[in-house]
Chain A
Amino acid sequence: MTEAKHQIGLSVRAANKVYPGTHALKDVDFDVRLGAVNVLVGENGAGKSTLMKVIAGVEQLTSGEILMQGEKVTFPDTRTAAAHGIGIVFQELNLFPNMTVADNIFIAREKTRAGIDIAARDQRAEAAALMQRLEHDISPDAMVSDLRIGEQQIVEIAKALAQDARILIMDEPTSALSAAEVEILFRVIADLKKRGVGIVYISHRLEELIRIGDYITVLRDGARTGARSMDGVDVPWIVQNMIGAASKDFAKTVEHDFGDEVFRCENISLMGRTGKRVVDDVSLSLRAGEIVGIYGLMGAGRSELFECIMAQHPHSTGDFYVEGRHLNEPDVAGRIGRGLALIPEDRKSEGLIQILPIRENMSLSSLGSFVKGIHLSLGAERETVKRFVKDLAIKIASMENPVSSLSGGNQQKVVIGKALMTSPKVLLMDEPSRGIDIGAKAEVFRTMRRLAAEGLGILFVTSDLEEVMSLSDRIIVMSNGSITGEFDGASVREEQIIAASAIGHAPASEAGHVIGSSNG
C-alpha cells in the first residue's frame, strides 16, 4: 500500500452514544480517508456497528460531532446521510425477500418517469450492469428469497454501489461469502479505491483486514484503543488492542471440585435451509459445577446448538442426556422439567415479555410450583420472586412495574432469575453479557461463578475472547457448525482460540472440517 497522503473525507470527533443502561461509544474519534480502506475492528459490543449507524444516519449521537470538509454536519436520517454521499452495507441483510433484485437495489430511490411511473427497464439494465461489475450472473428479475445468503450479500453490496457513494461502509460484508466471492469483492474494493471512494471496512477476519486495509482503528468497550496506518500492523498488535492488557475483573472466587456429568449431547446435527449443516455432529459433556464456554464467530452454529437442546428444532438429530438419563421430552416445558434452562441471546424478543410485570416474567417458567390444586398461590409467588430479586441484587422499584422499565443489566438478571426459579441442573446462557454495561457484566459473571460453586453446570456462548478465557473452566471452539477445538481454561492462549475459530474460514481450506488440537 502506498503511503501517499489520503484526504480525509469525514471525521467523527468526541462521539458519545448512550442507550438506556449502556454507554456504547465513549469519546470516539474516527477518520474516513478517501481512496483508502479504513478498517474498523473490535469485539462484539465494542461499538463498531453503533459508530457506523451514526455515520449512516440510522442513530444520532448523544454528544460529539461529525465533520465533512471541515464543516459540521448532522444526519437526522439515512436519507440525509445518503445525500452527503454515504452508503452502507449492513451486517444484517436489509433486503425485501418478496421483491426482485432490481426492485431491492433501487428501493426508495426508484428510477421514475415524471416521478410516478417506475422505469423498470432502466432499473433492470443498471442492475444487470452492477452484477456484471461484481462478476455475478444474478438475474435482476430474480426474487431475493430465491437467492443464497451469499448472493443476497452481493445484492446488498450492489445496492450500496448503485448509490455512487463517496464513502462506503461495509459491515462484515464477507461473513457469508465463499473464498472466490471474497476475491471478487476485493477487486471491486480496489476499483472503488482508484475512483477515490473512502471505504470503511468492518470484519472479524483479521488476516483479511491486514490484507486490504490502509488504515486501522480499534475499538474496545466503546472507546478507541488504537488508530494508525496499516503499515507494520500484525495480528498480535490488533488482538492486543482489541482485548487490552488490563483485564476486566473476572476473579475466580470459589475454588471447588466438579461433580459428576450432568449433561451430555451426542452427535447433534441440524440442517440449515440451504442444505448446509448449521450444527454439524456436535458432541460435548458438562459436569456439575463446571463452566464451559463456547467460543466462535457469528454463524458458527452456537445459538443453533442451544436451540436444539431446548427443542426448538424438531428436525435436529442426535441425543441428549441429563444426569445420564436420555432426554425424550419433545417440548420446552418437558426439558425445563428435566432441569435445563436457557437464557436466550436476544433478551428483548426471546427472553422477556416486555409489557408484563417483573413478577410475572420471573415466575413464568415455574408457575407449576406455586399451584395448589388449580389455584395459583400469589402469596407464595411473591415471596419467591422477592427472594430471587434479593439474591440476584436486581434493582427494582416495584416488582409490579413492567419489565421494560429496567436497564439492560437488570433485565438480564430478570431473565436469569426466571431460569433459576425452575431450579435447573444445567444453565445454558447465550451471550449473557450482550448489551449490558461493564458493572452489570461483572455482577452477571459473579453470579455465574457462585451458581457453579453451588453445583450448577453452566454452558455459555460468547463472542468475547476475554470473557471466554477468564470465565471458563473449559473452552470449546466452534466454527461452521462443528467443534474445532477444546481447551483447558487455565492454560489456553488467545492465539489457539482464534486459530480454532477460523478453521473452515481460511480461503484455501474449504474442504472438510479439521478438528483442532485438544489438550483438555
Chain B
Amino acid sequence: MTSVTTLQPSGTSGGQPMILLLLKLRTFIALIAVFAFFSFAAPNFLSTANFVIMSKHVALNAFLAIGMTFVIITGGIDLSVGSIVGLCGMVAGFLILNGIDLGIGYSLYFNIFEIILITLAVGVLVGAINGVLITRLNVAPFIATLGTLYVARGLALLSSDGATFPNLVGNEAYGSTGFHLLGTGSFLGIPVSIWLLIAVGLAAAYIAGRTPLGRHIYAVGGNEKAAALSGVKVNRVKMFVYMFSGFCAAIVGLVISSQLVASHPATGETFELNAIAAAVLGGTSMSGGRGRIGGTIIGAFVIGVLSDGLVMMGVSSFWQTVIKGLVIIAAVVVDQAQQRLQARVALQQQAAAA
C-alpha cells in the first residue's frame, strides 16, 4: 500500500493495524487452523493421495465460487449454477453417446474438442439468458436465476428421461475418446482439473485487479447509479459476470462427468449454495462492491478441507452440516467486525491528516 502526501497515522495506535491485518488474513488463518487440526485428529490426512483427492473436491466448488464472486460483487446472485453443471454434463454425455440425429438416417458426431467447446457454449448461453433477463427485462437476479435453475434442471432431466448417460468412453472413429482425461488425468503429478483451476483462478484474479472490466465490476456493485454516470456500461458488465459464471459452471459439468465417465441429470444440486458459502467465507460482501478471487479460493478450500476432514474423522454427516453452517455464520460476523474496525482506522488516519 502506498500513501500519498502528508501524514501517516502516528505510531501510538499500532495495535489496531495489527488486529486489522489478522482480521484481513482470517480466512487464510482459518485454513491453516483447519489443516493443523485435521493433521492431528484424522489419520492419513497428511498423505499425498489424500491431498490429491481433496483438491479435486475443492476444485469443483472453487470454479463455481469464482464465477459466483464476480456476480455477487456486482450486487447480484446466480442460483442457476448447480443446474448448469447438471445440464452441461448431460450435453457432453449426449453428444459423446448419441451425437445429433439429423433426422435423415444420419447422426452428426463431434470430436472431443468440439464437444467441450459446445458444452462450454451452452453454459455461457444459459448465463447470457440470465443476463438478458436481469439487464433488459429488469427481473431481479434472485428470481431470474431461480427460474433458470428450474428450467436448466428440467432440460437436463428431459435430455435422458431422467436416466444416466453411462460409459462415456467415446468412439475412436469420431475422435471422441479421451474424455476421462479431463477429470482423471494428471500433469506433473497434479490433476488436470487443478491445472484448470489455477488457469481460471489466475485469469479471474487478473480481470478483477488489472483490467478496466474488473474495476467496472466493483463499481457497479458499489453504486450502480454513480457507476453509470461515470460512464460504466452497467448492462455489459452484468452480462459478462453471468456469462462468466455460466462458463465456470460448464467447466464443472465437464469435469464431473469426465471423472465419473458418466453423466447424471441430478448432478450439481445445491452446488450453488456451496459456491455462495465459499465466496462469503472468502470475504465477498452480499451487498456488492467487495470481494477477492484469492479469498474465494481460500474460502472454497476451507469448506472442502473441513468436510473431507470431518468425513475422515468419522463425524456424522448431520453434524458436518451443522458445523459448516456455524463456520459460515462466524465468518460473516468476523467480517462485520473487520469492516467496522477498518472504517474507524481510515477515519482516524483522515483526522490525523486533516
Closest to A418 in B: B230
Closest to A395 in B: B354
Question: Is B290's CB within 8 Å of the partner chain A?
Answer: yes
Interface residues of A in 174-233 (CB under 8 A from B): none
Cα separation A255 to B193 with both chains bound (whole Å) = 68
Q: Is the CB of B233 within 8 A of A354?
A: no
Cα separation A367 to B212 with both chains bound (whole Å) = 6
Question: Is A272's CB within 8 Å of the partner chain B?
Answer: no
Interfacial chain B residues near A371, Cβ < 8 Å:
211-212
Interfacial chain A residues near B7, Cβ < 8 Å:
397
Question: Is B47's CB within 8 Å of the partner chain A?
Answer: no
Q: Is the CB of B231 within 8 A of A336?
A: yes
Question: Is B219's CB within 8 Å of the partner chain A?
Answer: yes
Q: Is the CB of B346 within 8 A of A402?
A: yes
Interface residues of B in 1-56 (CB under 8 A from A): 1-9
Q: Is the CB of A368 within 8 A of B223?
A: no
Question: Is A235's CB within 8 Å of the partner chain B?
Answer: no
Interfacial chain A residues near B227, Cβ < 8 Å:
353, 364
A-B contact count (CB 8 A): 126
Question: Is A331's CB within 8 Å of the partner chain B?
Answer: yes
Interfacial chain A residues near B4, Cβ < 8 Å:
385-386, 389, 396, 398-399
Size category of the binding interface on chain B:
35 or more
Q: Is the CB of A355 within 8 A of B290?
A: yes
Q: 1/0 per residue A328-365: CB within 8 Å of B?
A: 00011101110000101000011111111000100111
Interfacial chain A residues near B218, Cβ < 8 Å:
353, 356, 360
Interface residues of A in 279-325 (CB under 8 A from B): 310, 312
Question: Is B343's CB within 8 Å of the partner chain A?
Answer: yes
Q: How far, in Å, is A399 (CB) from chain B's closest CB? A: 5
Q: Is the CB of A398 within 8 A of B349?
A: yes
Interfacial chain B residues near A351, Cβ < 8 Å:
226, 229
Q: Is the CB of B347 within 8 A of A405?
A: yes
Interfacial chain B residues near A1, Cβ < 8 Å:
none
Closest to B3 in A: A398
Cα separation A385 to B354 with both chains bound (whole Å) = 19
Q: How far, in Å, is A423 (CB) from chain B's closest CB? A: 13
Q: How far, in Å, is B103 (CB) from chain A's closest CB? A: 44
Cα separation A382 to B1 with both chains bound (whole Å) = 11
Interface residues of A in 371-411 (CB under 8 A from B): 371, 374-376, 378, 382, 385-386, 389-390, 395-402, 404-407
Q: How far, in Å, is A303 (CB) from chain B's closest CB? A: 12
Cα separation A160 to B142 with both chains bound (whole Å) = 39
Interface residues of B in 68-112 (CB under 8 A from A): none
Cα separation A350 to B210 with both chains bound (whole Å) = 25
Size category of the binding interface on chain A:
35 or more
Given the known A-B contacts A350-B226, A368-B212, are A396 and B350 also in contact in the complex, defined by CB atoms under 8 Å?
A: yes
Interfacial chain B residues near A399, Cβ < 8 Å:
2-4
Cα separation A353 to B210 with both chains bound (whole Å) = 19
Question: Is B352's CB within 8 Å of the partner chain A?
Answer: yes
Q: How far, in Å, is A403 (CB) from chain B's closest CB? A: 10
Question: Is B228's CB within 8 Å of the partner chain A?
Answer: yes
Cα separation A335 to B231 with both chains bound (whole Å) = 8
Q: 1/0 per residue B211-240: CB within 8 Å of A?
A: 110111011001101111111110000000
Given the known A-B contacts A360-B218, A395-B353, A400-B2, are A333 and B233 also in contact in the complex, defined by CB atoms under 8 Å?
A: yes
Q: Is the CB of B222 within 8 A of A356?
A: yes
Interfacial chain B residues near A385, Cβ < 8 Å:
4
Closest to A334 in B: B231
Could you show 26 A-B contacts with beta carbons less than 8 Å apart?
Answer: A332-B229, A335-B231, A336-B231, A351-B226, A353-B226, A355-B222, A355-B290, A356-B218, A356-B222, A360-B215, A364-B219, A365-B230, A367-B215, A368-B212, A374-B211, A376-B212, A376-B215, A378-B210, A395-B350, A395-B354, A397-B7, A397-B350, A398-B4, A400-B3, A404-B346, A405-B349
Ranked nearest first, the 9 interchain pairs of A and B with the lowest CB-CB distance are A397-B349, A353-B222, A405-B346, A333-B231, A397-B353, A367-B212, A398-B3, A401-B346, A353-B223
Besides A333-B233, A389-B5, A402-B346, 12 more A-B contacts (Cβ < 8 Å) are: A355-B289, A360-B218, A363-B215, A364-B219, A364-B231, A365-B230, A371-B211, A385-B4, A396-B350, A396-B353, A397-B7, A399-B4
Mark A residues whose CB is within 8 Å of B.
310, 312, 331-333, 335-337, 342, 344, 349-356, 360, 363-365, 367-368, 371, 374-376, 378, 382, 385-386, 389-390, 395-402, 404-407, 418, 422
